Chain A
């Protein structure tokens, strides 16, 4: 699963430029994902965090620079071999019509299967384990269409678990879920992390990000603004710089991690928001 090299980074972007035809989204990105970290990428909409994630998972070929996975440049490796070390769950994967949960998760075994060997006993065991890990083994014969949003997302995570990789990339796994299901999915991520996997997850909720992440990377306009432990990154200054929102950051009463409290809104007597791109840097955290 994980590579044999001693590099402290599971995944690294070296001077990577990414984008779509005629539109560069990211230029010269340098990013290191620590092995065994739970790294969360944050940033406003269209800041390039999803693009970065896709670049890390070789869904978009970089126009410059290289992506290094477990010490090897992924451009020089068979995509099937990469798929045994790194798995990605896209933001909106397509559910094949009338597929059952078991069959969907079995598709995660694709990098290990061949024309003749389509479904070995190992495959079957790993599919069941993956479903058990996410607590969805009892749904195995249901069709995916009839599941609730939270169940469906856990099943999709089982699909990438069945790939048995050391590195998991999840693009906004909590979007469209209610609060209870968001927490359920993130608790699952934390458990997967505790079992020794490296996770890279795109999230929107800063408070939840700060609770679960070991590392946070803040993106803005295609570049990394801040990177480090949650307490270092989630500050009033960074939130203002990245999102253009005035806020106070206090300690989460349950966990002590940073908790973002937006400033008083104008209709309750607060000041109007400052321009979205303040030029000064001023630390007002923990006020």
Chain B
């Protein structure tokens, strides 16, 4: 009905929804850029393989290529690219979820403790000599779940309110960062360095195992996210009116927080606690679309694009020195954050 939104109706009246025109355009542009970046990630790198060669390998024609080239494209570049997109996507979705849940554009999971828990769990495994990828992933997952449980339990007081979630989360974040500093100081120098590298978030050496974990998680979490979309949107009018309009607010808040936590876990297991993607992706998308909806899956697409881009920049910018993607996102994200805070001056936030 309004000019900015188109109404889609299918199967008579059985299926109907509205979609913002700018959202469609933006998602299209993001998809296009994602394809371009994916192509760059696949076609360029340290070992020069011809464009035709890469295309042939990707299409399953191995005749003209050496086994090293095949390995480079199929077992190094391709899984690394997919891992970046999945982890970034998971961060973007979790950021969109928590920013809506806390009603605050800064309420992203890396600032309010959910990411910190996973990071601490993984570091614990690394510095106690685990070191195996599976152990690290399990540690990250367990740490994330424990931290989320603690934060949700502490913030719960006859309902889950956004500002309590944020404040408790910040407190827990601070404790966890002290724990991490302690673990680093107690470890061997080598373990400490591995731990620190992991803590900044990196996609170095991600293989099909990581992509597999991510794919399975997506299969389970994407439907849950679609289900959560409307209740999350309805919460935007405040919990009182949402209740009056027939939403069981507390149950949905907890459920949605758990979905968001699961997404954080996926991202951290694959790429480590990469900073700022979760904060920036939904925010950039909101300003591009002017949209008021939760923008969950579209934030995921943009998050995937951002992390892929950060990984490419870290790989290529100072080549041959490689910077972890997390350092790139921290630097760029920090600058972006200061810019939005500056721009929002005078408007009330929170």
Contacts and interface: CB of A to CB of B under 8 A. Distances in A.
A58 interface: yes
Contacts of B234: 107, 110
Contacts of A120: 9, 13, 16
Contacts of A57: 243-244
Interface string B232-244: 0010111011011
5 contacts: A94-B236, A103-B5, A106-B18, A119-B7, A141-B2
Contacts of A180: none
Given A88-B240, A93-B237, A118 B292 contact: no
Given A94-B237, A169-B244, 16 more contacts: A57-B243, A80-B246, A89-B241, A90-B240, A92-B238, A93-B238, A93-B240, A94-B236, A98-B291, A104-B237, A107-B236, A107-B237, A113-B230, A116-B17, A121-B9, A123-B16
B217 to A, nearest CB: 22
Given A97-B292, A119-B7, A119-B16, A124 B1 contact: yes
B47 interface: no
Contacts of A97: 286, 292
B1 A140 contact: yes
Interface of A: 20-21, 54, 57-59, 78-84, 86-90, 92-100, 102-104, 106-108, 110-111, 113, 115-124, 127-128, 140-141, 159-160, 163, 169
B59 interface: no
Interface residues of B, number: 35
B14 interface: yes
A188 B236 CA distance: 26
Contacts of B7: 119, 124
Interface string B132-168: 0000000000000000000000000110000000000
Contacts of A79: 243, 246-248
B292 A99 contact: yes
B25 interface: no
A59 B244 contact: yes
B259 to A, nearest CB: 15
A148 B234 CA distance: 24
Contacts of B236: 94, 96, 99, 107
Contact of A21 (B15, B157, B286, B292): B157
Given A84-B246, A90-B240, A121 B1 contact: no
A118 B13 contact: no
7 A-B pairs with least C-beta separation: A83-B246, A94-B238, A96-B236, A88-B244, A80-B246, A118-B17, A111-B246
Contacts of A88: 240-241, 244
Nearest to A61: B158
B14 A90 contact: no
B39 interface: no
Interface in B1-32: 1-5, 7, 9, 13-18
Nearest to B240: A90
B262 to A, nearest CB: 20
Contact of B245 (A99, A111, A124, A140): A111
A119 B5 CA distance: 12
A127 B2 CA distance: 12
Contacts of B212: none
A231 B122 CA distance: 72
Given A90-B241, A117-B13, A110 B18 contact: no
Contacts of B240: 54, 59, 88, 90, 93
B17 to A, nearest CB: 4
Contacts of A115: 226-227, 230
Given A54-B240, A121-B9, A103 B246 contact: no
